[in-house]
């Protein structure tokens, strides 16, 4: 994969669904996340849906409240298989209403993944025939472990190398079934987006199960761009100990030049500490939050 030079001229990210809706908000909240990216390159706009939430109903309701038209979506990227990122996919594909709508995700998306505490629960993409149903709704699967250029200056990460091994799925004990054997699940299907702008990379994550620092450093390696302008997404620091939270914040301070936006699975303790350490550079997002990046 060759990084194709070119910069995004305008970028708006709307939080379609999050665990929080904010005060006095007309938007719905649910334990899930979904972003709508409106990207302008060479005066041409593309709309990318990043993750699909746990249920299409609240996502579509929030889109209506925000005055966003689902039929404008050009492609979908799924950050990983978990139900709170994929459960709304079929309904959203039907609402988008396009034939052969590209859905880009990791090849391990459809593995069997589950937790056992406090009881057994499957937490992956729901429904044994989900793949077929989504195809019937109009989706076209593009499953890749390798990076893919989705447009000039827009890159799908593929598998993110785990260089910092301690950036594990904090607080989660997940399992998968491979060749009839029960094995630990390290969520190797976790992927992100890298967007090249005049001010540096904007990085979009789902839960950052690969580790937010691993993700940021891999983005710099893939693109050859040292400057990371902003990052938006969940950091999955729920359950992380103080030392990991402090180390992550220190890395974010050195890697990211401007604002850092997080929510969903980041965790209250980590969000509080991010605000304390980063001040105006940190923002917690919520359903309906619209982030307009000033790129000129």
Strand partners, 183: 176
Average pLDDT estimate for 101-110? 97
Domain ranges of the chain: 10-293
Q: Tell me whether strands 174-178 and 113-115 are parallel, antiparallel or unpaired.
A: antiparallel
What's the CA gap between 229 and 248, in Å, rounded? 17
- Strands (E) in 24-173, as ranges, are 34-41, 44-50, 75-77, 101-105, 113-115, 121-122, 139-143, 148-151, 154-156
Sign of CA dihedral 61, 63, 66, 69: negative
What's the CA gap between 124 and 110, in Å, rounded? 7
Encode pLDDT of 217-262 as tens digits: 999 999 999 999 999 999 999 988 999 999 999 999 999 999 999 9
SS3 of 239, please?
coil
Give the CATH architecture of domain 10-293.
4-Layer Sandwich (3.60)
pLDDT of residue 281: 95
Encode pLDDT of 202-222 as tens digits: 999 999 999 999 999 999 999
Report CA-CA distances (Å) from 255 to 124, 191, 214, 248, 282. 32, 19, 11, 10, 14
């Amino acid at each position: 994969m060759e990084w194709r030079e070119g910069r995004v001229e305008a970028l708006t990210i709307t939080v379609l669904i999050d665990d929080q809706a904010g005060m006095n908000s007309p938007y719905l909240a649910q334990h899930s996340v979904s972003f709508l990216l409106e990207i302008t390159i060479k005066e041409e706009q593309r709309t990318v849906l990043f993750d699909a939430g746990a249920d299409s109903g609240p996502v579509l309701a929030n889109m209506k409240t925000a005055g966003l038209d689902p039929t404008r979506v050009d492609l979908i990227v799924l950050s990983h298989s978990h139900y709170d990122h994929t459960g709304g996919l079929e309904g959203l594909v039907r609402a988008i209403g396009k034939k052969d709508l590209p859905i880009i995700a990791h090849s391990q998306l459809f593995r069997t993944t589950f937790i056992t505490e406090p009881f057994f629960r499957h937490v992956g993409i729901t429904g044994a025939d989900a793949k077929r149903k989504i195809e019937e709704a109009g989706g076209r699967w593009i499953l890749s472990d390798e990076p893919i250029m989705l447009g000039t200056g827009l890159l799908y990460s593929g598998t993110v190398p785990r260089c910092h091994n301690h950036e594990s799925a904090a607080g989660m004990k997940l399992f998968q079934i491979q060749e009839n054997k029960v094995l630990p699940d390290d969520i190797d299907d976790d992927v992100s987006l890298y967007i090249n702008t005049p001010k540096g990379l904007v990085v979009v994550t789902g839960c950052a199960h690969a580790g937010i620092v691993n993700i940021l450093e891999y983005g710099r390696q893939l693109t050859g761009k040292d400057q990371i302008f902003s990052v938006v997404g969940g950091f999955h620091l729920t359950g992380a100990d103080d030392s990991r939270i402090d180390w992550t914040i220190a890395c974010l301070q050195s890697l990211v030049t401007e604002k850092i936006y997080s929510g969903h699975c980041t965790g209250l303790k980590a969000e509080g500490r991010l605000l304390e350490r980063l001040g105006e550079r940190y923002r917690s997002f919520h359903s309906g939050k619209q982030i307009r990046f000033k790129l000129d």
